[in-house]
Structure 1
């Protein structure tokens, strides 16, 4: 007498055949495991971004756009010197430093510092040099900076206040890293500095 019950082995084999017919699972080990721990169907992982290569390419573009600054800063160190170990033991001083960490600027490498200083001098000479009339409105300042080859986003310029404090600007030099900015009222001040810990070139108003 033939049993009408299908043996478990036959069911298992049928299941494997169904899987084979519907698709093939990755055998390369690249697929992420599924909920049960088995490989899951997924597209190939994207290659990782080479940020160091991007930074080098950005510097090449900067040097092509500003060859005189590239020549001035050639040979400067591209890494920071080793920082000395922390020696502060005053708990109040340490607490103050912690509370005001958001105001700290990220350090620039010697070559970034050189580029920033060179750009600051270039902008100051173009805006306020001998025979020049400093921009009096945000629109004039934007036009002047863009004419010098800088990218001027909406956050770069702050207009004159009711007290007549003059124009202020802070911009990140395209492709080279440092921030350059200052005020266009007497005495005119345009200098360079690193980005702030929380990002951007404007000093944050508050911490966490």
Structure 2
């Protein structure tokens, strides 16, 4: 949306016997007689468990993706093989090759940095961008003239608009929103033809390019 898891083996039987021994004797010794082994195993298991907030976030993201995929099956079909065709990243190489002035410029404009997208997220974002551009500029289409008209057009396409996600900037209508369930933003500016693109959320948050800096 817009804005914005057989019978016990011999080893298991030995382990069970060890647990029973610990319970009966009230000690941390295992059946092999090594102190602290049982306590150490419990601590290890506890440390490897995911925190509740992480599990909740992952469950929420999975639910959002399911809703998206059910709503836009054509987008899913188009991008199902995107992850398998991913190319290597060149970010590290380009950052090492910067001269001092370029590095300073990059630091001063870091607030404009966009998050990286997975191949699947990038594919889905671009597919949504192309879908929107086609709907707004196809033959016989009337270009929205007001923020309300643009918001209504996007809603008809399945992108309910939230506050400030549709706006007028410098006389031109534009929009920027996060497509729930994809991980990507879609940003557009009306023109002839409209310019619509997909990208990751900005490092400072949101899909609209932040203003300011230092």
Tell me the TM-score normalized by structure 1: 0.69
Offset at residue 192 of structure 1 (A): 1.2
Corresponding residue to 1:72 among 60, 64, 78: 78
Deviating more after overlay: 168-177 vs 49-58: 49-58
Which ranges in structure 1 are unaligned for 5 or more consecutive residues?
A: 1-45
Call closer, same or farther: CA 1:80–1:103 in 2, change over 3 Å: farther
Q: In structure 2, the residue corresponding to 1:185 is in which secondary structure?
A: coil
Corresponding residue to 2:204 among 198, 204, 207: 198
Which ranges in structure 2 are unaligned for 5 or more consecutive residues?
A: 1-50
| Aligned length in residues | 160
**Cross-structure match for 2:63:** 57
**Cross-structure match for 2:92:** 84
Offset at residue 124 of structure 1 (A): 1.3
Offset at residue 48 of structure 1 (A): 3.4
Contact 1:167/1:184 (CA < 8 Å) preserved in 2? yes
**Cross-structure match for 1:23:** none
Contact 1:150/1:174 (CA < 8 Å) preserved in 2? no
Q: In structure 1, the residue corresponding to 2:83 is in which secondary structure?
A: coil
**Cross-structure match for 1:125:** 134
Deviations 1:146-184 (A, max 9, x none): 1111131111111264xxx32111111122121112111
Tell me the TM-score normalized by structure 2: 0.67
* 2:115 is the counterpart of 1:109: no
Deviating more after overlay: 94-103 vs 186-195: 186-195
Call closer, same or farther: CA 1:80–1:171 in 2, change over 3 Å: farther
Contact 1:151/1:174 (CA < 8 Å) preserved in 2? no
Q: In structure 2, the residue corresponding to 1:95 is in which secondary structure?
A: helix
Offset at residue 88 of structure 1 (A): 3.3
Call closer, same or farther: CA 1:174–1:84 in 2, change over 3 Å: same
Offset at residue 57 of structure 1 (A): 2.4
**Cross-structure match for 2:179:** 173
Contact 1:76/1:111 (CA < 8 Å) preserved in 2? yes
* CA root-mean-square deviation: 2.3
Deviations 1:184-206 (A, max 9, x none): 12242111111111111111111
Deviations 1:57-87 (A, max 9, x none): 2211110110110111112229995553542
**Cross-structure match for 1:13:** none
